[in-house]
Chain A
Amino acid sequence: EVHLLESGGGLVQPGGSLRLSCAASGFTFSSYAMTWVRQAPGKGLEWVSGISGSGGGTYYADSVKGRFTITRDNSKSTLYLQMNSLRAEDTAIYYCAKLSSTGGWYTYFVYWGQGTLVTVSS
């Protein structure tokens, strides 16, 4: 059974940094692209970033480009999101999701984690 467990969320001051993790199990992690999606309180879903199975391809929303970095450690079956220069508008639940194939193009969501809450506030 596929299982995705996010961690690393919490309260951080504006301008601060945080690293989210997503521990995966139940599938061959390196064979699948992964992605992060966030949801601000009371708002809709917003795609944040994606990474191919090898880690060679990365993709970002304009709202986080240059501030967030997505990486993966296939030996640990773990996905990461390094978030720097955090702003109040980054406050959201962050979900990781498994995609349908190894490449980053024309691949779709299959499984979602339960999410981790990031709050950016002074």
Chain B
Amino acid sequence: DIQMTQSPSSLSASVGDRVTITCRASQGISNYLAWVQQKPGKAPKSLIYAASSLQSGVPSKFSGSGSGADFTLTITSLQPEDFATYYCQQYDSYPWTFGQGTKVEVK
């Protein structure tokens, strides 16, 4: 199985900050990488697919990059609604696997 490792596990940031989350796969997955946002008590929401493509309706403040085994999610100008947990997920091969999540908290 492909292991997905995110860093950091949590981070504290202020409104207006730019934050970057890293995701590393245990083997190359080309660009078959998605990012998912989950707010407390809510269902997940898909943000990015194919490592860098935004889902419909997702604001351009979110951006993704990377290929192979190393990926990043960047959020610019952090707003109150962006404080959530973010997961990376590979869909290169079954079983699909998620990273452990990165919780973005208010500083």
Contact = CB atoms under 8 A, between A and B. Distances in A.
Interface of A: 35, 37, 44-47, 50, 59-62, 95, 97, 100, 106-115
B95 A61 contact: yes
**Chain B residues touching A, range:** 20 to 34
Nearest to A113: B43
Interface of B: 1, 32, 34, 36, 38, 43-46, 49-50, 55, 87, 89, 91-92, 94-101
A109 B94 contact: no
Contact of B44 (A45, A60, A106, A108): A45
Contacts of A45: 36, 38, 44, 87, 89, 98, 101
Main secondary structure of the interface of A (DSSP, over half): strand
B95 A44 contact: no
Contact of B91 (A62, A107, A111, A113): A107
A107 B91 CA distance: 7
Contact of B49 (A50, A61, A97, A108): A108
B43 to A, nearest CB: 5
25 contacts: A44-B98, A44-B101, A45-B38, A45-B89, A45-B98, A46-B98, A50-B94, A50-B96, A59-B94, A59-B95, A95-B44, A97-B44, A100-B49, A106-B32, A106-B92, A107-B91, A108-B32, A109-B36, A109-B44, A110-B55, A111-B46, A112-B44, A112-B45, A113-B43, A115-B43
